[in-house]
Each structure stands twice: as structure tokens, then as C-alpha cells.
Amino acid sequence: MDKKTPIRIASWNYDHALERDGDNELNIDNVPMDIKRSVLFARLLKYDWYKSKLKKRWNNLNESNLLNVKGLNERIKKKSDFVRQYVDKNFEVWPLESQWYYDANNYDQEIEVMLLFIERRHGRVSAYFEELL
């Protein structure tokens, strides 16, 4: 991504991100993958032309290393190295032992959660697109 990227994604509510329950407990394998939960996708997936383009886009992004497991892992590790310099400062403001912080994972453990999520979810998403159309 760069300044010209039209859409950027940031975790807003991390306690529900990456297949976590509200108490920050991992729930990676139990959350059903249902793209139609999104009203927009539910409408668009009624059209074969859209499904075809969506599947083609998924395949292209995987082949170009943008959305495949290897590419995602490489970018997370690179970004995490950059963010690491701010970790101590963050934990001064948001200490792990805070009563409002439900997760005692340290920074490296959280990176591992992200990598695990990608590994498991990518397979499920790939299977979804394999069957699309």
C-alpha cells in the first residue's frame, strides 16, 4: 500500500479481530466463513459476472504475492519490525496488566496470532473461491 491506495484497513476493535471473541479468546476454527453476512456482498453475489470477477481478482492477488500466505506473512513481519520501536511506549499507556485489557499476550505473541489467523483463514477463503461459480 502507498498514498494512492484507495482503501486501507486497520483493526478498530482488536478484541473482535482475527477471530477473537469479545474476551480476546481465540476462536479461529469455530467462526463460519460467510461472505454474504455483508449486505453489499450478498447483493453482488447474485450476479455471475461479479462472482467471476471476484474470483479472478482473488486468484490474481494470490499469484502476485499480495494475498497469498507468504506475501502476507512477509509484510506483517516487516511492519512488525517497524512497529516494534513503539511497543514499549504503547505499553506505558496501555499496560498489559490493566483491568480493561483482557489479553496478557506480549507483542511477539500477538504477531504469532496474526500469522496463525492468516494461515488458517487463507485456506478457508481459497476453498471458498475454488467453489465460487
Angle at 122 between CA 22 and CA 25, to 5 degrees: 20
- Check residue 12 and give its pLDDT: 57
| Coil, strand or helix at 20 | strand
- Check residue 38 and give its pLDDT: 85
> Does 6 score more than 70 pLDDT?
no
Strand residue runs (E) in the chain = none
SS3 assignment for 102-121: CCCCCHHHHHHHHHHHHHHH
Highest mean pLDDT among 24-28, 72-76, 96-100: 72-76
Residues 6+ apart with CB under 8 A from 11: 17, 18
Angle between helical axes of 48-63 and 107-131 (0-180°, round to 10): 130
The per-residue pLDDT for range 18-61, each reduced to its tens digit, is 776 666 667 666 666 788 888 898 999 999 999 999 999 999 99
In the chain, how many H helices and how many E strands? 4, 0
Whether residue 24 contacts residue 15, with contact meaning beta carbons closer than 8 Å, is answered with yes
Cα separation, 117 vs 108, in Å, equals 14
Cα separation, 33 vs 19, in Å, equals 11
Considering the entire predicted model, what is its pTM? 0.72
